[in-house]
Structure 1
């Protein structure tokens, strides 16, 4: 099969290629939808020609570099790699400094107050996921939507103070 780049192939030549395509290769055997049909290699060269004309882009030639251009290119590449390495090293130094300061703060906290240090090491153990939230599912529930649902009210700070006054 002859390959022609898309840009250098006028429409008239493409039409001639399609008509010249070997149409004598008819598919042999029963059609694929009929019972008893096996996997026959049903190919028509016209489809291949159409695919090549429509979808294949022309191959571009690589630029030809002179020695001076190659040297310039290599210098730019080395400078870019040096820039990336410096950036990587600066980030790792910054992270190391943050880690060192965090360790120093932990050591100072341990010396100042053992209880605060232990509570700081536990971290945040509060649950952030709302307990009243319904879990998303693929299908809706059988009973549908509960229109009478009223969430439990959260006490305001003023109400909390009143409750504390009543208790105390």
Structure 2
């Protein structure tokens, strides 16, 4: 009896129930969870027609401001074309710089081929970074599981993950004299 009385008093006073995440009733109307309502209002605000948003993403006077700054469609189109032309010039400069660098690299590779064809072939050899040599496979058999996983996760040519980060302050435990770097793959 008191449970019914409490819930009816809550409905009259518009007090949400103590449990969160459930809908509750106010004056006979079903109302959702207030937390969800707040999140919904923040993510999907109603269309505000009479005032600008506090962060400036929507301004009702923007049409008038644009009309004052750019009075005609022709002026707007001219500005747009000028902006596109500017972007095209930047793109062409960037492409020309890339082409210049590529040609310099091509000349260096041709010079390397003339000097030492073996080095040229070694420089242009493609290899699978996941492939392991026989020596690495033998080394993996002697390692602990955690060390083996570390070695298997290492990709040749990339910065080693297990390299310690240099810090300004010493470690709390002091210097670890027993620490040895992980064995490098052959």
Please indicate the TM-score interval, normalised by the length of the shorter structure: 0.3 to 0.5
Q: Which has the higher contact order (CA 8 A, sep 6+)?
A: 1
TM-score normalised to structure 2 length: 0.40
Greater gyration radius:
1
TM-score normalised to structure 1 length: 0.43
